Amino acid sequence: MKPQPFAVTPDAYARALNVVGEKITVLASTTATQGYEVFLQQGDKDSGPPPHSHDWDESFYITRGTVEIGFGDQTVTAISGTFVHVPAGTVHYFRFGPEGGEMISITSQGGRASQLFTRIDEEVPLGPPDLEKLAGVALECGVTIAG
C-alpha cells in the first residue's frame, strides 16, 4: 500500500501513552508512513528510559526544556533547538532536566517504538516500574535493556 499524505493537528492527537512516567504521543506510526515513526515526548524531571539499544535509528529534536542524552561514552545536555541522532545498535538513554522537557523523536524504517510504547502503557502500571516486566516487554519489541 502506498502511503497517503496526512496532517495531524493538536486537536486530533491520539491519547498520550504513559511510558514509565513519560507522556508519549504517536504523531505518525509505521502504518501511516509505511516506514518511519514520529513521536511527541514529554517528561517531568528525571523521567526517561534506562540505557538500552534497538535495531533502528532514533533521532531527537528538543523543543522545550533540557534533556540529558547519553550514548556510548558521551553525554549531551540538549537544550531547546538541539538535534541528536543515535544509530541503530547504540546503547543510549535520556533524562528530562530540572524543569522537565519536550522533544520530537523520529525512528528509522522498521522501528517498533510505537509497539513498545503501547505495550508499556498497557502492561506496566503507573508508579515505580516493575523492571522485570519492563525488560520483558522491551525484549519482545526488539529493545535490549543494557546492564
What is the model's pLDDT at position 110?
A: 86
Average pLDDT over residues 96-102: 97
Contact call for residues 58 and 94 (beta carbons, < 8 A): no
Measure the CA–CA gap between 9 and 53, rounded to whole angstroms: 31
**pLDDT tens digits, 7-47:** 999 999 999 999 988 999 999 998 889 899 999 999 999 99
Ordered by where they begin, the domains of the chain are 10-136 (2.60.120.10)
Between 97 and 124, residue with greater pLDDT:
97
What is the model's pLDDT at position 112?
A: 92
Measure the CA–CA gap between 120 and 143, rounded to whole angstroms: 12
pTM above the 0.75 mark?
Answer: yes
β-bridge partners, 95: 68
